[in-house]
Amino acid sequence: MSETGKTIKVVDRRLFTAEGEIRDEVKAELAAEAEAEAKAEARAEAQAGGQAGRQAETQPEPVEEPAPEPPTPTDPAFLRLLDMLGQTASLYLEGMPDPATGRRTPDLAGARHIIDSLASLKAKTLGRLSFEEADAIDGMLGELQLVFTRLAAAMSGKGRGPGIPGMPPPPSPRRG
């Protein structure tokens, strides 16, 4: 197939010149848009004004739009629930002392369960939380995920086992 008949046209669509000035073409487009909007508003007002006199007798006054919803109030019970879940996950990450040896061993599976529960709670309540509640769940979830990831990488790096059941092993560091 021959493409000799096709021509390519390059159009400069930048809004500003090299000196920082608005291009003349852009000024013309903006002026045309403003003029078209003004004409459309004038037509709409004229139609509304002509029909308003006729409809005033038959139609009651328009109902005012309801005020925007007030912000969702913070629920102390929800914050206590987040605190309880965060403390439980922290205990799992710190580790419970073994009665025989006295050594603390973290329970990564339990911590992962709590972290996944918090992520699910965040997803299910999206858009229905107050600012304080959303901030609390985001901050807590981020911190717990960070600690969990670092601890899981450290445990699998020290040869304490294959890592966390059901989780792929962490990536190996790049050399080179």
pTM of the model: 0.51
Percent of residues in the chain assigned helix, strand, coil, to nearest 5:
55, 5, 45
Nearest to 111 by CA among 94, 98, 93: 93
Confidence at residue 2, expressed as pLDDT on a 0 to 100 scale: 58
Question: Token digits for 34?
Answer: 């403003």
Q: Which residue has the tokens 């459309």?
A: 40
Contacts of 98 (CB under 8 A, 6+ apart): 104, 105
Q: What is the pLDDT of residues 70-123, one digit of tens each?
A: 778 889 999 999 999 999 999 999 998 888 888 888 999 999 999 999 999 999
The model's pLDDT over 16-68, given as tens digits with 9 standing for 90+, comes to 787 878 788 878 888 888 888 888 888 888 777 666 555 555 556 666 777 67
Record the tokens describing residue 175, joined without a space: 């050399």
List the chain domain ranges.
76-157
d(C-alpha 82, C-alpha 89), whole Å: 11
